[in-house]
Amino acid sequence: MDEITLTTQARNDYGRKAAKGYRAAGLLPVNIYGLGKDNLTVTIDRKEFSQIFMAGHRIFTLEVGEAKEQGVVKEVQYDALGSELLHVDFTRIDIHQKITLEVAVEVIGTVANGALDVPMKEIKVESLPAGFPSSIAINVVEMKVGDVLRVSDLEAPEGCTFAEEPDALVAQVTAIIEEEEEAVSAEEGEEGADADEPEVIGKPQDEDGDSAEGEGSGE
């Protein structure tokens, strides 16, 4: 991943009211901790961070005054609707020590037949901080119905290893059965309609039939 630097600003006020004020000003409250150092509370530009974070970046260099802190996103808090960023926690990292991050799976191409299912949207990768790829690409052009792609089938980028079970499913191609299901549903619907019709017992009777005569004799 490319090095991304964020400029921080001092954070002196705390509490829900203060946090709301920071967000109104376009700032995002941030905590930085780890590696046996003191915790830092600062703010960063909310829009800038949001755009970079949504692009898949997780490792940042945070400029705190004259110092620089290398950190990885540990936790991101959103509002109840999941639409507004409220707070971010960074944990410090040592650039000489390997860490594990989830990296997005990027699908290359389309399948000619069948339906492509990619249950693994992100894959855990272990690497030095500077060696993480922005994504793990999988080429599905040659995949056919019945083919599966597992972690063991992937080639890890140089300097990286996958921190997943080797037989974990990444992608598969299944047959499309929508038309058959629709046909079965239609048949079941017809059978259900027939079953709903009332059953007629005996022959229909005319107005001049025996039933009318019977009612007359009862009088």
CA nearest neighbour of 30 among 46, 16, 51: 46
Tell me, what's the pLDDT at 13?
82
pLDDT of residue 211: 47
CA 23, CA 28: separation in Å to the nearest integer?
6
The C-alpha atoms of residue 96 and residue 133 are separated, in whole angstroms, by: 17
User: Residue 204: pLDDT band by 50, 70, 90 thresholds?
Assistant: low
Instruction: Report whether 128 contacts 159 (CB < 8 A).
Output: yes
User: pLDDT band at 196, cuts 50/70/90?
Assistant: low
Quick one: tokens of 64?
């705190």
| Domains in the chain: ranges and CATH | 5-93 (2.40.240.10), 100-174 (2.170.120.20)
Residue 218 — pLDDT band, cuts 50, 70, 90? very low
Cα–Cα distance between 135 and 1 in angstroms, integer?
A: 9
What does the pLDDT look like over 15-33, one tens digit per residue? Answer: 888 888 888 899 999 999 9
> Which stretch of 6-10, 110-114, 193-197, 212-216 has the lowest confidence by average pLDDT?
212-216
Angle at 180 between CA 179 and CA 181, to 5 degrees: 90
Q: Is the pLDDT of residue 49 over 80?
A: yes
User: What pLDDT, on a 0 to 100 scale, did the predictor assign at position 216?
Assistant: 47
